[in-house]
Structure 1
Amino acid sequence: MSPRSKTSPASKGELRIIGGQWRGRRLSFTAEEGLRPTLDRYRETLFNWLMFDVEGARCLDLFAGSGALGLEALSRGARHVDFVDASPQAAQNIREHLKTLGCQQAGVHHRAAEAWLKQQAQAATDLAVEAYDLIFLDPPFHKDLLQPCLYLLEYQGFIKPETKLYLEAEADFNASRLPEHWHVIKQKTAKNKIFFLLECPTPRP
């Protein structure tokens, strides 16, 4: 998603899928204040990190924004992606992208990330939540939205041994805020942000 930049309500944005079956496809969307896809070079780095982890994976794209990360995963063979975003326009954009691509291996959820996680956990009180293989977590910067989602992911059954989680955060984000037993596999710093690829062992009781 990347840090939010101001745009006029009627302006258009564009994302390009950089790998997989839809490589080179360009998708336009109605831009909103702060909505911008993760830049191509950062997505390329991420999916190089995940080279052997995407095909057949069940994925969650929280704070999905333009949907660039989840769409990239689907292009590269992900089994299913759940897209979650609080913006009705963002959710509609993603639905249109999926229709354009003829893709049905996805769910689009217009809901705030924390509220959606709570809803899913509550709905699964009698059945276990189906955990994800890959989770993309790219919240708007400096909004304090990360910690509640980390807690819910950790304790409500959304992760399993060897789940991998991609986190994109503001440059001054301190890794000590992450659950102490999560492993940092990869880390990269850019001008105004920091990226982590994390592995999530079995949650603590």
Structure 2
Amino acid sequence: MTKNRKSTGQNQQTGQVRIIAGQFRGRKLPVIMADGLRPTTDRVKETVFNWLMPHLYNAKCLDCFAGSGSLGFEALSRGVSSTQFYELNATAAKKIQENIQLLKANNAQISKGSCLQLLETEQQQFDLVFIDPPFRKGFVAQTAELLETKQLLTDEAIIYVEVESELTDLQLPINWQLLKEKISGQVAYRLYQRS
């Protein structure tokens, strides 16, 4: 993640995220640096996508709190059949839309709005879900519950969760089995499979 401290208005700078591998390998996508947006670092992303390798091909992907779209775009590059992005921040959502057009990714779509509200009306099921929300707001448990109660996950769906490392009592559905876990500084990242 590189940062160019070019101001774009209220408290927002621009930066870029790099796609590590796959069809769009090496492409750098412009992103905004708004408060609360933390693009997943290249090192973490590399580990996560090594974990995800067997689960990517032809998967329908949902990037819940997309931010820069870094995870969803990496998944697109590596062979998922489609990515649905959710993003509340209007400027970040607009940038994701621009990056979808830049990559000519006609299998990607952005929905602007609150993840929790968008899940209420979502119609399709997903094989792969990224849950990487702003820290310390309790969004992970609420998102997980909605994914289950609205039956938005396929039977053996893979769920990636990124939370603050001090969060030790995360309440997740009992049928989510922890596959992998790693802590890097203030971030804990985990891979679950729905059973």
Look up the match of 1:101: 103
SS in structure 2 of the partner of residue 166 of structure 1: strand
* Equivalences for residues 92-131 of structure 1 within 5 A: 92-120=94-122, 129-131=123-125
Post-superposition offset of 1:193? 1.1
Q: CA deviation at 1:149?
A: 1.1
Which stretches in structure 2 are left out of the alignment for 5+ residues? 2-6
* Percent of paired sites with the same residue: 38
Alignment partner, residue 21 of structure 2: 19
Separation in 1, partners of 2:136, 2:29:
28
1:142 alignment counterpart = 136
| Amino acid aligned to 1:168 | E
**Equivalent-residue separation in structure 2 for 1:132 and 1:14 (angstroms):** 27
2:78 equivalent to 1:84: no
Aligned counterparts of 2:32 and 2:154: Cα–Cα separation in 1? 35
Aligned to 1:173: 167
Cα distance in 1, alignment partners of residues 129 and 163 from structure 2? 14
Q: 2:184 is matched with which residue: 171, 187, 190? A: 190
After the TM superposition, which of the residue ranges 81-90 and 27-36 deviates more from structure 2? 27-36
Preserved CA contact (<8 Å) 1:85 1:113? yes
Distance between the aligned counterparts of 2:119 and 2:38, measured in 1? 23
Q: Is the 8 A contact 2:145 2:172 kept in 1?
A: no
Answer 1 or 2: which has greater strand percent. 2
Cα distance change of structure 1 residues 10 and 178 upon mapping to structure 2, 3 Å threshold: closer
Structure 1 residue runs of 5 or longer lacking an equivalent are 2-6, 121-128
Alpha-carbon separation, structure 1, partners of 2:62 and 2:83: 6
Q: Which amino acid aligns with 1:195?
A: Y
Calculate the TM-score normalised by the size of structure 2. Answer: 0.91
| Partner AA of 1:192 in structure 2 | Q
AA of the residue aligned to 2:131 = L
Match of 1:36 in 2: 38
Deviations along 1:74-107, one digit per CA (max 9) or x if unpaired, are 0011111000011111111101111111111011
- Superposed structure 1 runs of 4+ greater than 4 Å apart: none
SS at match of 1:107: strand
Q: 1:31, CA displacement in angstroms?
A: 2.1
Aligned partners of 1:104, 1:144: CA distance in 2, in Å?
33
The answer on whether the counterparts of 1:130 and 1:157 sit within 8 Å (CA) in structure 2 is no
Aligned length: 188
Question: 1: CA distance between counterparts of 2:99 and 2:182?
Answer: 29
Secondary structure in structure 2 of the residue aligned to 1:161: strand
2:126 aligns with 132
> Whole-Å Cα distance in 2 between the matches of residues 154 and 175 of structure 1?
19
Q: Deviations over 1:18-54 (max 9, x none)?
A: 0101111111123211223100011110110011211
